[in-house]
Structure 1
Amino acid sequence: MDTIPLIPATSNLVKRNLASSESSESKKAESSSAARLLVLQNMVPLATNLVSSQLEAFSTRLADQLFKLSDQAVRPEEAKVSYDAHQLLKRNSTAFYRLVAGQINAALSKEVSVFNTRRRLKKDEQYLDKTAQTYEEMEGKILLRNASHALEVLNAESLVMLNTLIGRILNRMPIDVTQNPFRPEIFVKAVHQAWMELDDNPASHLVVLRLLQPTVFLQLSPILDEINQELMARGIRPDSDDGFDTSAGGVAYLPVQKFFSLDPYLQDKLKRVFSGQIELAHTDPNYDFSGLAAVSDTLTNQLDLDADEDRADKASIDQQFFEDLREMQKRFAQEEHANAPFESRLHKVLHASSAQKLSVVERNTIELLARIFDYIFADQSLGKDIKSMMAQLQIPIVRVALSDRDFFFRESHPARTLLDILGSSGIVLDHDASALDPLLGVIGDVVERVQTEFDAQIDLFSDVVSDLELYLKEEDCKAQAAISQPVQTALTEEKMRVSRELAEHDVAIRVETGEVAGFLEVFLEEQWIRILTIAHSVKDEKPHALENALKTMDDLIWSLKPKNSPDERKALIAKLPAMLTLLNAWLNAIRWDEPDRVLFFSKLAERHAAMARAPLELSPRRQLEIAVNIAQRASNRRLDRFVNEKAVQANDEATKQVADLERGMWLDFSDELEQITRFKLAWISPKRSSFIFANRQGDQAFSIAAADLEDKYRAGTASTILANSLVDRALTYALRDLAI
């Protein structure tokens, strides 16, 4: 049936239809931010305890430096201040310990509680702001900056790891050191504050601050490393899929993201757009998308414009223009209610009277976003419901991009991540029944929250992305639980398949020597392989079973080789009873009771009897004939094996496509009636010999062998959906007609 564009009212209808289930999911979503915050709050007492263990050594180093300074100072007043501070610290070391520990605990607790909503300051504003009125205050800020920077350099490796882990927790990859609540600046400020409480003499405050250098200060590396270890022990990993890992493609439900090398050509285009060197031409709302299918997917997730310290995201926009944007947002929402055709409304934004005051860079920002949304609305892989959701985000995204141009340069930007997730969701939603899909209700709530709550805090996008990804991850966990039985079955089948391959190898290396009699060769390849397969499958539990089966096979092969001496014949007669007993026991285990078993043992008995009656010494001619026959059979066997291996190794495009598959990818399968069904690759066996595909909920699943899947690729009845970043594709297309 036709899809129904989902506007906020429709979203409420879906929620009413699914009230019980969505109520539970909503509560989980509401608590997700608090849960993430709690993880970091638990690191505060750990850091405080680690600091406390260093306070005695730190106090000693600081006191020594104060005494050394008092002895070396040129100015008498500085020498006196340093000596008095030295004496004060010696007399009140315990009080200093208490003050430092208390200040650090309070500072870290405050940072953790507020940094999730704090806007990032300009690079140096945190040190040099307009509140500094005196020379001493300004010098104090410079000393703080220098001490913090020196510690950052010394502990760079640990800080980078912690930045990554915190980014995993908060879905805000990558964060920088200014956003890290455990950054060196916090420790330096806390220690300095503790000293100011200990000594009320202002003259000593700058003296002590100058001494807070890496050689004197607390050793932050073991503290940061311990926090990193604790976070990783809780399942948070810098480069894997864990409970908090929501980097691109991290949610297994979503199509896996493909990353490409940076395209310098596109990088130069963006640099020109945001340097103000050129002004993008205003496009017609009926943007030409005839070449949509041929869009390149080469724009990627990073553009390094660090050389430009004052990025365009620091632009100051006229407040009247933002007020006009709010009014436009309301009007555009009414147009969505009227089921207007999907087209970017952002072309109209530049016609507002207040837009005339915008700079070239700001106008370029809006025009580029208009082109991006034009592309999105023309994308045939997205249904009407998802397009309706994304249409309601146009004005909020404009406001984000005007205040933070990282939207264009950083793939992990939260607002950009939201658009990419919506684009990925649009690909995997069933367009014929999407209006009843709970996921669409959750997306509707997210969009509605952005519309109603977004003002200037970009971190709101981080929160809604976290809540949406939490829902998707929970949905994926349910789907994985639903396919647990097929997975166990597939694991058992693969174990037997691998055991069979090992058994075939065990037989092949013996047969290809050319020393195995013809009837015995058939027996080993048809019956003994079955026995070895069982032995290999239970090798971990019963290792002696495999040893026993291999030894019995080797003894059987040896028993049929020519015996040229009396001692060899005596050994054969001695071994036969035990060997035949084991042979029969193994054949009983596989229940080989066919008449062929009787025939096999008859031939075996004849050969053994013939050996017993053979002349004691074989003539040289006969020995040569036997050797030539063995060599010929061995040569033929090796040639057959070489040809078979070459056939197996023959790779084609289908083989490569199957080899490139990863869990989380989505594939289209077509049947005899050419009806296409979309399934997610939910599981890959350890040996990649079988794959399990399922729908999003996991209630429809099937297993397929790698060879059969390759055949489907060759026949064109299976194809991979390459879901690259929607914004990347749209941005690439939007810049297509811009010449460098």
Structure 2
Amino acid sequence: MHIDGKVVPINRAQATPSPLARLPVVLLQVRDKAAQQLQQGLQELFDNADDTLFEMADKARSNVDHHIFFEAMRDLRLKRKNFERVFMEQLFAAFIDLGQAERGEFHLVPMVSYEAAPGTSSDELEKAVALEAMLGRVRHRDGLALGQLTARLGALLGNPLDERDNPLGPALLCEFFLRAGRSLGVEIRVKLIMLKLFEKYVLSDADQLYAEANQLLVATGVLPQLKAVPSRRPGGREAREQQREGSVQAVDQPMDENGQQAFAALQKLLAAVRGSVAPTLEASAEPQPIATRDLLRLLSHLQQYVPEPEAEDDFDLRNQLEQLLTRVSVKSGKSRVVEDADEDVINLVALLFEFILTDHCVPDVFKALIARLQIPLLKVAVLDKSFFSRASHPARRLLNEIASAAMTWSPRDDYQRDSLYLRTEQVVQRLLNEFVEDLAIFPQVLAQFSASTADERHRSELLEQHT
């Protein structure tokens, strides 16, 4: 009987199952969980590689070295996606190899050794030494968890497994990284820097990788009698995030005497405009002021509905607060109004933002971002009146930093991909999402924004010199 070349007979299809079909479901879960963590590590690696190479270029003692590191930065940016893709392909292929019926005795990666073959170049020898040291540190630090994972994988597959065949072992992970980096046209110094970054941002989290893989296998009954390895020191990604946050001192709490006096002086000037934030209904009784705590709750409610920068409608804070007060008044049956001191704060903050948003030196795209900070900054001023008198107040400095940086920005059509715009957008979104009443968030955000702005300024100056 003639068989169309495009049709696969049922008996043949059954005889040649997909390599993935040979893998137990739990092994696929281990693979996918590990792939997710490794992908995050690689992303963090590349995010920091640019800064590391830039710093090396900045410290270069010769124009040749300066050029080498700048070219490496460019090469990494162009080939980053391909690098990550090849790494993940190697990882998935290694898991498929585990399911092969006849694995034989081959290993995907030889054990790296100080002993180099005759004729090995000094560059290769240097790389081999660096790799050997990296593998040794991982095995010394996480060897027990790695050994348990290797034993469990072997038991699951019904065939003893060597660490060198463990797709999550440090030897194979390094091999995947080296194979993915073959497309990079960089010299040995840059390769060694990349290896150090791989150890810092990927291998340093190996304990978490092995712990989660072991947990998945134990949950399905694979060698549950092996004693669980206790988590080692707080480290890896969590430690790096804590380090970036730094030690932050709390904002000085209200009220200092000078701040109170300055605010009192401003209140005299604002007396004429009071009453602009009030419910739009006929008061059936004497207006009842709402407490400052209730005002903060109303503002936190409004904060959740601040429109996106692209929204065409302007966000009028006082108008939105009026509408909210009207709803509260109708619901309670009483005319609820804002206390005089709190209304003065609202009017002052509104004037501050009106001044910034009408400044022709601030680009429109940044005005849209800055406008979204009205409620967080108003809540700060309600909580701490020294916001108006203390020039060093973190929230006030943050607003000044953003406005100053925006004034030096060069307009571009694809502004949504601009680094300054993205950093500012992240600051605004973080404050909208996280700030309730803890003022300690402002020194954190200010420190991060100021540091990134200074780095970007220095980077621009160096790039101009290089060009």
TM-score, normalised to structure 1's length?
A: 0.24
| Structure with bigger RCO (C-alpha 8 Å, 6+ apart) | 1
User: Which of the two has higher C-alpha Rg?
Assistant: 1
TM-score, normalised to structure 2's length?
A: 0.37
